[in-house]
Each structure stands twice: as C-alpha cells, then as structure tokens.
C-alpha cells in the first residue's frame, strides 16, 4: 500500500470512531445530568449510591470494563447484547462518561450557588421548576468547557475498542501494521487524525463556554 492508500484506509475508520464517541457521550449525558442533581438535591442514601457509581466507573480502567462486558457477560455468559463489540465498547464508555459528566455538572451546579434556588423558590417556583427553568440552563453553560474535554477524552478512549475487534481508526492502523510491517506511518497518521477530531471542537467549546459565562456574569 502507498502512503496515500494507507491514509485513506485509516480515514474510512473515522465514522466508527465518531459513532462510538458521540453515542457514548450522549449516553453519559443522559446519565450524568440526573446523577448530578440526585447527589446535590436528594437524600443521603441516593448520594451514597451515586458516589459509589462514580468511584467504580472512574477508577476501573475502560479496557478492563470492555473485556468484562464483552468477554465475560457477552461471550462467557451468553448475554446477546454484549456479544456485539461495538455495543459493549459504547456502553462501557457511556457508563464511564456518565460518571465523569456527573462530576462536571455537579461542579457547575455548585458554581451557580444556593442563592438562585432561594430566589426562584421565593418567586413561587417549586423546587423541581426551579431546577428545570433556572438551574439547568445555567448549569449547561458553566459545564460546556468540561463537556468539551469529556468529548475529547471519549474520542481518545474509543481507541480501546479495537481490542474487541471494532473496525475503527485504530483497528485499521493495526491492520496496516500487520500487513506492511510498518510500525511508524499508520500510528503517526492515526494520532494526527485523533488530534483533528478532538482539538478544534474542545477548544471551541472551551472558548464559547468561557465567553457565555462572562456575558451572564457566572
């Protein structure tokens, strides 16, 4: 294969890399928002459960979790969903992202402070209404830079999925390495593509979030 052919072959893996990254980010978002609010506004028992979830999925390596779900639950225990390598990789990264995003949103909630909740309640809003109409919109703005970093982390960590056989950029680079015995070009190319997929978006979200916070005085 010529260098151009190798580059094009690796680029063909971008849609799978992005699919894993975006789907796991959205799954993490669905988990992270309620977990953050449960920990901040609900009872002690729920806070303990959320804390346990965060500790487990923030400390156990993604690769260990992927192998557990794919090989352990999927192939060994014959749970059909986890036999799919793409699903297992996305599910694990989503669980990990949920733990990370929970902390991101929790930090944003604390950045808003209790005053706005008290003001909203004094204006006649219920606690739930205050959360939905006052706290959540500001939480997203404050959390935006952290969410950009989380997206970049997921794109990077999606590379672990090649161990399960998912045909993403990393897997395609490894196939080229095995075929051509070239240990340099495929991995340098893949590293550059990962930078292109993460740095611009993370930088933009960081600047946008910082600008919005200044505009709103947060």
Note whether 178 and 172 are within 8 A (CB). Answer: no
Q: What is the pLDDT along the chain (218 residues), one digit of tens a residue?
A: 788 899 999 999 999 999 999 999 999 999 999 999 888 877 778 889 999 999 999 999 999 999 999 999 999 999 999 999 999 999 999 999 999 999 999 998 888 877 777 877 787 888 788 888 888 888 888 898 899 999 999 999 999 999 999 999 999 999 999 999 888 999 999 999 999 999 888 888 888 777 776 766 66
* 93 contacts 135 by C-beta, under 8 angstroms: no
Where along the chain do its domains lie?
3-216
Tokens found for residue 2: 């010529």
The CATH code of the domain at 3-216 is 1.10.3720.10
């Amino acid at each position: 294969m010529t260098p151009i052919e190798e580059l094009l072959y690796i680029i063909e893996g971008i849609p799978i890399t992005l699919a894993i990254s975006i789907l796991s980010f959205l799954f993490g978002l669905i988990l992270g928002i309620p977990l953050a609010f449960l920990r901040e506004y609900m009872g002690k028992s729920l806070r303990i459960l959320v804390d346990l979830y965060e500790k487990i999925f923030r400390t156990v390596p993604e690769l260990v979790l992927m192998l557990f779900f794919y090989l352990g639950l999927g192939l060994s225990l014959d749970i059909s969903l986890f036999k799919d390598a793409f699903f297992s990789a996305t599910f694990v990264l989503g669980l990990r992202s949920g733990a990370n995003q929970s902390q991101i949103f929790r930090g944003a909630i604390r950045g808003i402070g209790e005053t706005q909740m008290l003001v909203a309640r004094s204006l006649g809003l219920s606690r739930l209404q205050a959360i939905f109409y006052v706290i959540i919109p500001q939480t997203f703005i404050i959390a935006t830079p952290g969410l950009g970093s989380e997206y970049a982390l997921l794109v990077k960590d999606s590379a672990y999925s090649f161990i399960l056989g998912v045909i993403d950029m990393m897997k395609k680079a490894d196939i080229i390495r095995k075929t051509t015995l070239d240990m340099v070009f495929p991995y340098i190319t893949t590293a550059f593509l990962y930078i292109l997929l993460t740095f611009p978006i993370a930088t933009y979200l960081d600047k946008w979030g910082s600008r919005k916070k200044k505009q709103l005085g947060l």
